[in-house]
Amino acid sequence: MSYRIYLHFKVLPKWLKLSRNRRREIFENEIQILIGKFREINFSWIDLEAFSSDVTDIAELTTSDIQRYYFFIEELKDSQFFTEEYFDLVKIQMGIIEGFKHYEQQQQKETT
Q: Where are the domains of the chain?
A: 3-111
Residue 5 has pLDDT above 90, yes or no: yes
pLDDT in tens, 9-22: 999 999 999 999 99
The pLDDT value recorded for residue 102 is 86
CA 97/CA 112 separation, integer angstroms: 25
Which SS3 state, helix, strand or coil, does residue 95 take?
Answer: strand
Classified by CATH at the fold level, domain 3-111 comes out as: Alpha-Beta Plaits (3.30.70)
* Percentage of residues of the chain with pLDDT beyond 70: 100
DSSP state of 6: E
pTM of the model: 0.89
User: 3-state SS of the chain: helix, strand, coil percent to 5?
Assistant: 45, 30, 25
pLDDT in tens, 60-87: 999 999 999 999 999 999 999 999 999 9
Residue 3 has pLDDT above 90, yes or no: yes
